Amino acid sequence: MAKRVCIIGGGVIGLASAYALVRAGHEVTLIEARDSVGSETSFANGGQLSYRYVAPLADAGVPLQAIGWLLRGDSPLRLRPRLDLQQWRWMAAFLGACRGSVNKSNAAHLLRLASLSQDTLQRWREDDHLDGFDWRRNGKLVTFRHSATFEQARSKVTDILQQQVLSAVDCARLEPALADGGFVGGIYTPNEEVADCHAFCRRLAERLEASGRCRFLLGRRVTAIRHANGVVRAVELGDEVLPVEQLVLAAGHRSAELGLPGLALPLYPLKGYSLSVPIGPQHRAPSVSITDYDRKIVYARIGEQLRVAAMVDIVGFDARLEPKRLALMKRQALETFPLAGDYAHAVEWAGMRPATPTGVPLIGASVYSNLWLNLGHGALGFTLASGSGQLLAELIGQQVPSIDMQGLAPRAA
Ligand SMILES: Cc1cc2nc3c(=O)[nH]c(=O)nc-3n(C[C@H](O)[C@H](O)[C@H](O)COP(=O)(O)OP(=O)(O)OC[C@H]3O[C@@H](n4cnc5c(N)ncnc54)[C@H](O)[C@@H]3O)c2cc1C
């Protein structure tokens, strides 16, 4: 039976949820605080649809490695301790998740969801002719600067993920732009994809508008959620009260601000940065997506621009551009791909990954009978959006979900 669903948040997760719901015959109202969709963390992210590289950040050995990073001037990680209970709680839970066994089971949950996401996006592209967001299946090459990290990574390569171990020469043969990169080797995964997340959001919104079954309330911030007896009744938009039947919370890293009694949302923003470097005919930009493993920096060609993304800053809700961090990224990008684009005209951006301590998002029913969650996708929101939207639509439509929900359902978080 068709449901009336209200979604808070017009990022890639809220929009993919709306798209899957409308596709399944439901009616949607999508509320977005900004004047346009996809304008917060979904705006200029790395663009990688990284379906096979989903292992969470929290892993055995990471706390020790993090201490080493924090002592370095060119660290990919920055921590500004604050008098903020939310920050300390999140970090304590993160440390608790830094165990090999926990990482392995969470990686398995994410891999299931990522695989569903790849299939779902393929269906939307093929069945609905959804295009116009610079999608390509370009493959991903993870490159290593040190023999030790390369050897460690190659020992984990699996046939299941169709990965290939490449020497430095093979890397340069596959991706000529890498010729002077300073790498000892790499691991190539051919089925990975790339696209423009912001353009994807806009295309979803256009299709939703055209469907006649989705109403957008843009430039409207939900200020509170009204509830009684375990049921959500309405959302407040300042002075206006909008009654709701089913409500989806997909407000990214701000979701916890709308917290309700009994609803634990272990979210914290992990800030990162990107550069969008224009590519002209004279430039030599990589076509394959590159992850520079030892520097924790990623490169993806999206249309006529090179998207460079990096850094994890644990600094609270502070979305300002940090000139020092961006200068470091630009320097490293120039060292690796000096001829890839017009760095002088690179557009700088900062965004906040909506991160759970375990790296696994919360998707599905909450303790409120008609409140659904689709949030906490951290560093993988674009990758996981289509599958997460599909799962949510199935759950709201009371269908059997396409994949086992173990580890993904909020109550189990
Ligand atoms: C530097 C960087 C690089 C990244 N690279 C990649 C990558 O290569 N691949 C990948 O898969 N992922 C990547 N990510 C992660 C990805 O961008 C995020 O996981 C994803 O954008 C999160 O989407 P979202 O819809 O949950 O959040 P958002 O995009 O932030 O959307 C939430 C929306 O909710 C709205 N909102 C919030 N509060 C309210 C309210 N009270 N009322 C109404 N609206 C509200 C906000 O305005 C916002 O538009 C990267 C992130 C960063 C920062």
pLDDT digits (tens, 9 = 90+) for 402-412: 999 999 998 63
Tokens of 407: 């580890």
The CA distance from 294 to 2, in Å, is 49
**Residue 390, ligand 1, Cβ within 6 A:** no
The Cα–Cα gap between 287 and 187 comes to 16
Give the atom of ligand 1 at the shortest distance from the alpha carbon of 382. Answer: 11
Tell me the pLDDT tens digit for each residue of 273-299.
999 999 999 999 999 999 999 999 999
Summarised one tens digit per residue, pLDDT across range 39-97 is 999 999 999 999 999 999 999 999 998 988 888 878 999 999 888 999 999 999 999 99
* CA of 14, closest atom in ligand 1: 25
Distance CA 223, CA 250 (A): 14
pLDDT confidence of residue 160: 73
Closest CA to 251 of 410, 40, 87: 40
Q: Return mean pLDDT, the chain.
A: 95
What mean pLDDT comes out for the span 352-360? Answer: 97
| pLDDT tens per residue, range 305-321 | 999 999 999 999 999 99
Supply φ then ψ for residue 204, to 5 degrees.
Answer: -60, -45
Q: How confident is the model at residue 179 (pLDDT cuts 50, 70, 90)?
A: confident
- Picking from 205, 196, 256, 247, the residue whose alpha carbon sits closest to that of residue 36 is 205
Domain residue ranges in the chain: 4-139+191-397
The SS3 assignment for 377 reads strand
| 71 assigned ligand-binding residue | no
Rounded to an integer, the average pLDDT of 257-272 is: 94
The CA 197 to ligand 1 mean position distance, Å, reads: 10
pLDDT interval class at 164 (50, 70, 90): very high
Residue 413 pLDDT more than 50? no
Q: Is the pLDDT of residue 150 over 70?
A: yes
* pLDDT tens per residue across span 367-388: 999 999 999 999 999 999 999 9
Distance 397 CA to ligand 1 centre (A): 25
- Is the CB–ligand 1 distance for residue 272 below 6 Å? yes
Position 411 scores a pLDDT of 61
Asked whether residue 9 is marked as a ligand-binding residue, the answer is yes
385 Cα–ligand 1 center, Å: 10
Beta strands across the sheet bearing 214-218: 214-218, 27-32, 4-8, 246-249, 371-375, 362-365
The packing angle between helices 12-23 and 381-396, to 10°, is 40
Q: What is the DSSP string of 101-117?
A: HHHHHHHHHHHHHHHHH
Position 383 scores a pLDDT of: 98
Interatomic CA distance for residues 333 and 342, integer angstroms = 12
Whole-Å CA distances, 138 to 92, 114, 134, 224, 283: 38, 17, 11, 43, 18
- CATH fold, domain 4-139+191-397, is FAD/NAD(P)-binding domain (3.50.50)
Angle at CA of residue 51, ends 46 and 55, nearest 5°: 90
| Sequence-ordered strand ranges (E) for 33-144 | 48-49, 77-79, 140-144
Residue 200 has pLDDT above 80, yes or no: yes
Cβ-count burial 162-194 (b if 16+ within 10 Å, e if not) = ebeebebeebbebbebbeebebbbbbbbeebbb
